[in-house]
Chain A
Amino acid sequence: MALYDSGNERHESALARLGAWLVRLALAAVIPLIAFAAIYAGYIFLKNSHAPKWVIAGVAIVWGVGGFAVLYWVFNGIVEKLPGVWSERLLPFVFVGPAMAILTWYLALPVYRTFWLSLFDRDGFPPGFSPFRPWTWPAGIHSSAFVGLANYITTFTQDIFQVAIRNNLMWIVFGSTLSVGFGLLVAALADRSKFERVSKSLIFLPMAISFVGAGVIWRFMYVVRPPNQPQIGLLNAITVALGGTPHPWDKWVDIAPWNNLFLIVIVIWLQAGFAMVLFSAALKGIPEELIEAGRIDGASELQIFFRIMLPYIMGTIITTWTTIVIFTLKIFDVVWVMTGGQYGTHVIATLFYRQSFTARNSGMGSAIAIVLLLAVIPVMIYNLKQFREKEAF
């Protein structure tokens, strides 16, 4: 009797389990469908709606953010309902998969695709060739569209590119070094001042300003008026007050290449705060005993700074400097807004933009992009080496 009972129970629970399983299966199918339908409806609304612009903005924000959250939730739900082993195997890929897919699509594959593009002429791949189907290669090589390294050779032999390289070197040498220098100076001074918080905040503030905004701010600083009119740009007003003649500073071709310095100033103005914050934290991390010991040995404040503090934070200085170098290497917005690359101020990134999007020469543009990539490869290798040394992963 007891046996039969338990058997019946087992039978019932099996039925119940089957029912529950069916319901779960249905839910697993229906919920994603509803979710996808909702996302699609949002997409259609955004595409065709003539609602007031703030309504569209609101819907777009909710749709964009909500859509991605719902997708994670749905896929997690589906995978969790799979049998145990499969659930455990697949779940990590639900978590990490989208990130990897996006990174691959947006950064990893483009490196490969851009490299291939740089070997072809201005119109890119000939019909029928794709870098992902290398067996179509013979079709590519016989086509006149394939130019090999010609884009690189043209690029490097162009005067304008050599000017751009020189300018980029100026950006790197002056821009990053002076940003680091001023950052260090402010960090060191503020560390001993009563106005530390206020002064650091004010120097840090330009970091919130876009390059385009900063471009307008500095254009206004550099405004030039004919000598007999009142100057409305501060720099020229000061120049005139000191008895000089007004100049268009960043557009002043006579002093080329030094007119680039007036553009570089803008980036120093923006980035010194970034360096300052990192240095300030590093300076605060120096053990007090170390400095005290130096004082007892009779070192002057300057000696303490150069002999104790500076070597102690050298690691931070190098990292910060590298970050700013990478940043200045890719500098685009400032030059584009201030001079558009005229007056001998082109840099690699502005030439890249000009070739790729103004001249629509994808081969040349890609070659320049590859040059940019090659320039950051040492840093990439250094980062990977650092990572390999980390045992914990």
Chain B
Amino acid sequence: MKKRRKWLSSGLINGALVLLVLLWSVPTFGLFVSSFRTREDIQTSGWWTVFPHREWQTTKTLNVKELGLDPNSIMTIEGVQGDFKQFRKGIEKGNKRIQWVGNKRLGRIEVQERKWTVNWHFTLDNYKQVLFGREMEITTAKGETETIPGQDMTQAFLNSLTVSIPATIIPILIAAFAAYAFAWMNFPARRLMFILVVGLLVVPLQIALVPILSDYNKLGLNGTFLGIWLAHTGFGLALAIYLLYNYISTLPREMLESAFIDGASHFTVFVRLVLPLSVSALASFAIFQFLWVWNDYLVALVFLGNDPTNKVVTQRLADLTGTFGNAWHILTAGAFVTMVLPLIVFISLQRYFVRGLLAGSIKG
């Protein structure tokens, strides 16, 4: 009896869990599948039709005139009786459906059967169109070739890399030096400075956008990569110092002291000892910051501006949503292009990321 109850409760737990996991995964999965479907397919059927499902398929087409039917009276077609309105909607009988297609005078009659089918017309054209800047030719389902402009997301992808990599490493470098100083050096106003760091942890970055933008206008940093690296550094630094301090201050005191006795300078100890020992903390913050910067939209929008040669992937994708709001073959592929790198980073380094989260994360 007890065993059965246990089995039941574990079934309930797993069932609920599977349901939640499905709920969480279906939106992304739908996007992923759709990005490989042809333009026509996306617009005419749901992405779930790639799974086996039953669909009405026309097996026979009959000519109204040949049958000599009068649409204004009750007709008998293939052993089914009904008037025009009913046939127009389609009359089902057994596994068959008889439907009048078109108007009264020029219509035809389709005999349809419900058949198991899958919609498997997959293509890479969407990605080609989104990634490459040149005009490109695609073949439509009807066999015609059509020339369409590409979206050149490759440039945006490179821009995102150019923004994200330095905007991840620079704050870590600066924060690691500062965290080391807070943990292992004595200097005036040390406590006051750290209080500033803690206080700035939750300050919303919106507060800084207008003043910094006016500084950038004066300094000519507007729309430059240096400008956006520094901005991301400024907005991520408080959290970076806080997290790295928490880690670096727990390193064993004796080890560092023995290095100083051997005559090592602070710089040497920092580079040779502290950095290698903190790799896991640095990595966890690096992933956090990388995802933050790569996925950021607001900071890029404000500081990189409207120059198309500088735009990052999130900006390009947002532009696409604006201009091609219903061109789902472009949007799905475009969205996946923006997601692929963070997803790879995230999946392969999830363990470090979780560790970083657990170290405490409040971001301003």
Interface set of A (CB-CB < 8 Å, partner B): 43, 46, 53-54, 56-57, 60-61, 64-65, 68-69, 72-73, 76, 80, 89, 91-96, 98-100, 102-111, 113-114, 117, 124, 182, 185-186, 189-190, 192-195, 198-199, 201-213, 215-221, 223, 230-234, 237, 269, 272-274, 277-278, 281, 301, 319, 322-323, 326-327, 329-330, 332-333, 336-337, 349, 352-353, 356-357, 362, 365-366, 368-370, 372-373, 376, 379-380, 383-384, 387, 392-393
Q: Please, which residues of chain A bring their CB within 8 A of the CB of B205?
A: 107, 330
Q: Please, which residues of chain B bring their CB within 8 A of the CB of A356?
A: 209-210
Closest to A90 in B: B187
**B101 at interface (Cβ–Cβ under 8 A)?**
no
Additional A-B contact list (17), CB under 8 Å, known A46-B225, A207-B346: A94-B177, A95-B177, A96-B182, A100-B178, A100-B196, A102-B237, A185-B16, A199-B18, A210-B297, A210-B339, A216-B31, A216-B332, A232-B45, A333-B298, A383-B198, A383-B199, A384-B198
Q: Pick the contact of A186 from B17, B233, B321 — CB < 8 Å?
A: B17
The reply to whether A202 and B25 form a contact with Cβ atoms under 8 Å apart is yes
Q: Pick the contact of A192 from B10, B161, B265, B338 — CB < 8 Å?
A: B10
Q: Pick the contact of A57 from B158, B229, B350 — CB < 8 Å?
A: B158
The reply to whether B350 and A201 form a contact with Cβ atoms under 8 Å apart is yes
* Most chain B CB atoms below 10 A, which of A72, A107, A218, A369: A107
The reply to whether A99 and B346 form a contact with Cβ atoms under 8 Å apart is no
10 A-B contacts (beta carbon < 8 Å): A64-B229, A111-B207, A203-B21, A208-B345, A209-B295, A210-B342, A212-B317, A272-B24, A337-B318, A383-B198
Interface segment, B77-85, B104-112, B166-174, B252-260?
B166-174
Interface set of B (CB-CB < 8 Å, partner A): 9-10, 13-14, 16-18, 20-21, 24-28, 30-31, 34, 42-48, 155, 158-159, 161-162, 165-166, 169-170, 173-175, 177-178, 180-182, 185-187, 190-191, 193-212, 214-215, 225-226, 229-231, 233-235, 237-238, 241, 249, 265-267, 270, 291, 294-298, 301-302, 314, 317-318, 321, 326, 328, 331-332, 334-335, 338-339, 342-343, 345-347, 350, 354, 357-358, 360-364
Q: Please, which residues of chain B bring their CB within 8 A of the CB of A215?
A: 318, 321
Q: Please, which residues of chain B bring their CB within 8 A of the CB of A208?
A: 291, 295, 339, 342-343, 345-347
- Assuming the A-B contacts A124-B214, A216-B335, A234-B46, are A278 and B185 also in contact, with contact meaning beta carbons closer than 8 angstroms in the complex? no
Q: Please, which residues of chain B bring their CB within 8 A of the CB of A219?
A: 321, 331
Q: Pick the contact of B202 from A91, A105, A376 — CB < 8 Å?
A: A376
* Most chain B CB atoms below 10 A, which of A56, A72, A92, A366: A92
Q: Please, which residues of chain A bring their CB within 8 A of the CB of B24?
A: 202-203, 205-206, 269, 272-273
A64 and B347 alpha carbons, distance in the complex (Å): 27
Q: Please, which residues of chain A bring their CB within 8 A of the CB of B209?
A: 356, 369
Q: Please, which residues of chain A bring their CB within 8 A of the CB of B267?
A: 73, 76, 80
Q: How far is the CB of B9 from chain A (nearest CB, A)?
A: 7
The reply to whether A107 and B235 form a contact with Cβ atoms under 8 Å apart is yes
The reply to whether A212 and B338 form a contact with Cβ atoms under 8 Å apart is yes
Q: Please, which residues of chain B bring their CB within 8 A of the CB of A278?
A: 357-358
The reply to whether B162 and A68 form a contact with Cβ atoms under 8 Å apart is no
The reply to whether B21 and A107 form a contact with Cβ atoms under 8 Å apart is no
